[in-house]
Chain A
Amino acid sequence: MQAVQASLAGTVFKVLVTPGQQIAAGQEVVRLESMKMEIPVESEVAGRVIEVVVQEGAFVNEGDPLVMVEMDA
């Protein structure tokens, strides 16, 4: 299992995936809001979303896990 991590400190603006969803490598899974910018956060791997760890509006620090993904074999 792999965590998609926050690329920088900010608040969770939108969660774009739900548990069980199949996602592609490079797909945007969360949009953060930081420094008055919307920051897309993409999954590096293709796989299935196991868990969304954060809620919209929550503060996350750089490196915090956002979404857990089970990589395609």
Chain B
Amino acid sequence: MTDEELKAARARALAGGPARYHERLAGAGKLDVRTRLDLLLDPGYTEDGLFASALADDLAADGVVTVSGAIGGRPVVVMANDPTVKAGSWGARTVEKILRIQEQAMQLECPIFYLVDSAGARITDQVQMFPGRRGAGRIFYNEVRLSGRVPQICILFGPSAAGGAYIPAFCDVVIMVEKNASMYLGSPRMAEMVIGEKVSLEEMGGARMHCTVSGTGDLLAPDEETAIHWAQDYFAYMPDNWRTTPARAAAVEPAPVDLETLIPENQNLPFDVKQLIEGLVDRDSFFELKPLWAGEMVVGFARLEGEAVGVVANQSKVKGGVLFVDSSDKAARFVTLCDAFNIPLLFLADVPGFMIGTKVERAGIIRHGAKLVAAVSEATVPKICVVVRKAYGAGLYAMAGPAFGSDAVLALPGAQIAVMGPEAAVNAVHYNHIQELGPAERPAFVAARQAEYRADIDILRLAAELVVDELVEVGRLRRELSRRYAHYRTRERRFSERRHPVYPV
């Protein structure tokens, strides 16, 4: 081969698929695979397997680009499907390239990005790419091995079909581009053939559906550039691997929020916990995950005087801040993520408890709640629970209450901690007597018992009993938290010796 021949072969491989497919990309608001890489990475990266399937006419790089590069000077590896080459479908070399870049991430213990835009397996190549030791299944096996060891970040630009849908599923975070991104095991066409259901692609597995209903997507991006920026913002909170900690940033004063008047005295009235978070953390640092799903629980990264922290907060504005099946899953996953990557946890508890009733019992609220309690138990990063207003029942456990290895449980002066709230408790204890009383006597009796109950669970009483470690006015909370996190940094990280727990999934 001459230099000229090499140059020509390289140009063919770099060009990707036929011109008509490139034109189609532009029409769909999509960027070329190499433009995506240029936006994501620092200038200058190295590529392996550019000549994969170079002897075929129409399989440039075999439909996937695998590179080693850097983001903000930090080494990362990337696999990126090329949707102009056979719709980004997987042949034998595609799969081998993905496996090799994963193996590099494992060797280097460096983060891996998956830029997904793929129609799935090439059925014509299935024997070579699907079932074997180094077939597609190995991609998912590798993802599971990498999980919690290095950050795995997925941006979904297009489809992620059938088996391919598991690439995002095993990543730590999935950013989906609205309208273009989709995930489904069976396409609408297949669903109509196999089960007789007629639905649109968006209903079946669209980006909005996954970010608002199924919870499989984390962030719904309006376009590809935004999706890539969000991936970089997310990455700034991640360490390089499980052995290291996230880089600190310059400390910034919080946004001006009047914390003194934010929280209603009446426990039963909702307020926006995101305002509380904004008033506590460094300005513009809050990076929320899954904002459109299970809104009664708010989770996201933020910075406290420059240090990364993972915030888990009950949102009384949505469904009263009650814990449901999905909100338990959402928080459990986030707690696991923070624990894996050495990000201290801040729990802001304002929780009436787990939801009750037939609907949630049938949906398995007990086992879903158990997942959250298990994740909180196992988390050995520094963790602080702040009881903002109330922590009732197992809600206290789910929000890292005193029994769950928290470094500290703090409470605001108006906080209540109890098996249940005063209204429910008085009704439960005095039910028969209340029924016997006449309507005239009833309200006075109930009010008196509730007052006694409130006194019994008064937060000073709980501090006196050493249930909570410190009482803090909301205006002092930020300072108190950052001092404590600095102090807890060297915390013991072992939890329990065994293979792994029997997960309550």
Contacts and interface: CB of A to CB of B under 8 A. Distances in A.
B352 interface: yes
Contacts of A38: 268-270, 320
A39 B267 CA distance: 12
A8 B270 contact: no
A35 B268 CA distance: 9
B322 A40 contact: no
Interface in B315-331: 316-322, 324
Interface size class of B (residues with CB under 8 A): 20 to 34
Contact of B355 (A35, A36, A40): A35
Interface string A53-73: 000000001100000000000
Contacts of B356: 35
Interface string B234-271: 00000000000000000000000000000000011110
B322 A37 contact: yes
Given A35-B322, A37-B316, A37-B321, A8 B268 contact: no
A52 to B, nearest CB: 21
**Chain B, interface SS category:** loop
Given A8-B322, A8-B324, A61-B359, A36 B421 contact: yes
Interface residues of A, number: 12
B5 to A, nearest CB: 61
A45 B123 CA distance: 44
Interface string A33-48: 0111111100000000
B322 A34 contact: yes
Contacts of B318: 7
Given A8-B322, A61-B359, A36 B270 contact: no
B396 to A, nearest CB: 14
Given A36-B268, A37-B268, A9 B359 contact: yes
B357 interface: yes
Given A36-B424, A37-B268, A8 B316 contact: no
B322 to A, nearest CB: 5
Contacts of B353: 35
B423 interface: yes
A39 B359 contact: no
A23 B324 CA distance: 29
Nearest to B359: A62
Interface string B323-364: 010000000000000000000000000001101111110000
Contacts of B268: 36-38
B270 A40 contact: yes
A39 B324 contact: no
Central interface residue in B320, B352, B356, by most chain A CB within 10 Å: B320
Contacts of A35: 320, 322, 352-353, 355-356
Contacts of A40: 270, 317
Contact of A39 (B270, B357, B421): B270
A34 B359 contact: no
Central interface residue in B268, B319, B357, B360, by most chain A CB within 10 Å: B319
B425 to A, nearest CB: 10
Contact of A34 (B267, B320, B421, B423): B320
Nearest to A40: B270
A39 B355 contact: no
B141 to A, nearest CB: 38
Nearest to A38: B268
Central interface residue in B267, B322, B424, by most chain A CB within 10 Å: B322
Contacts of A39: 270, 319-320
A45 B356 CA distance: 29
Contacts of B352: 35-37
A72 B421 CA distance: 42
B362 to A, nearest CB: 11
A57 to B, nearest CB: 16
B359 A36 contact: no
Contacts of A34: 320, 322
Contacts of A36: 267-268, 352, 421, 423-424
Nearest to A37: B320
Given A36-B421, A37-B320, A39-B319, 7 more contacts: A9-B359, A35-B320, A36-B424, A38-B269, A38-B320, A61-B358, A62-B359
Interface of A: 7-9, 34-40, 61-62
11 contacts: A7-B318, A7-B319, A34-B320, A34-B322, A36-B267, A36-B352, A36-B421, A36-B423, A38-B270, A39-B270, A62-B359
Closest 6 A-B residue pairs measured CB to CB? A37-B320, A35-B352, A9-B357, A36-B421, A39-B320, A35-B322
Interface of B: 267-270, 316-322, 324, 352-353, 355-360, 421, 423-424
